[in-house]
Amino acid sequence: MMIDAWANFFIAQCGASAALLGLLFVSVSLSLGKILAFPVLPGRALTAMLLLLAVLLVSSFLLIPGQPIAAIGIEVLGVGFPLCGASAVIGIRGMRNSTPDHRREFVSSFVFLAVATLPYLAAGILFVAGGAAAPYCLAAAIILSYLKAFLDAWVLLIEIHR
């Protein structure tokens, strides 16, 4: 497997995720009072930040030169398992805190979160097994993470002001 061919992709993701994470942190800080006024929104803020942090960490790990592919898989799993676990905890807490009229919206958000995080585990397993599809699976996880983080950021920064 030629992971070196993916270097430019991971360099771009490393820079983009770091910039977006910093911007999100500042934006959440500026809207903290409004975010804290809604019981489910702190979890969405944390989720968006965790997704961007996962992209940053995984991209950074894949830029370490000379690693065996199995080591990359373990690193991806080392990010994926805590990400999935934290997402599940945040999702369960959010479900308990959501109002009945917003529960359907919250469930769809939680399903999208699962769709965005589970490919990290699949990619990690594929890397460990030496599967050629591993970088593609990881690319899907990264793109889905950006999309979910964007939707959460939209809710945090725009929808709470309506």
Overall average pLDDT of the 150-154 stretch: 92
Number of structural domains (the chain) is 1
Q: Which residues constitute the domain of residue 115?
A: 3-161
pTM of the model: 0.93
Residue pLDDT, tens place only, 101-115: 777 888 888 899 999
Q: What is the pLDDT of residue 1?
A: 58
Q: Do residues 42 and 36 lie in contact, with contact meaning Cβ atoms separated by under 8 Å?
A: yes
Tell me how far apart the alpha carbons of residues 13 and 8 are, in angstroms, rounded to a whole number. Answer: 9
- Categorise residue 98: left if φ over 0, alpha if ψ from -120 to 50, beta otherwise: beta
Could you tell me if 137 and 122 are in contact, meaning their C-beta atoms sit under 8 angstroms apart? yes
- What number of CA atoms fall less than 13 Å from residue 10's CA on the CB side? 18
Q: What are phi and psi of 112, to 5 degrees?
A: -65, -35
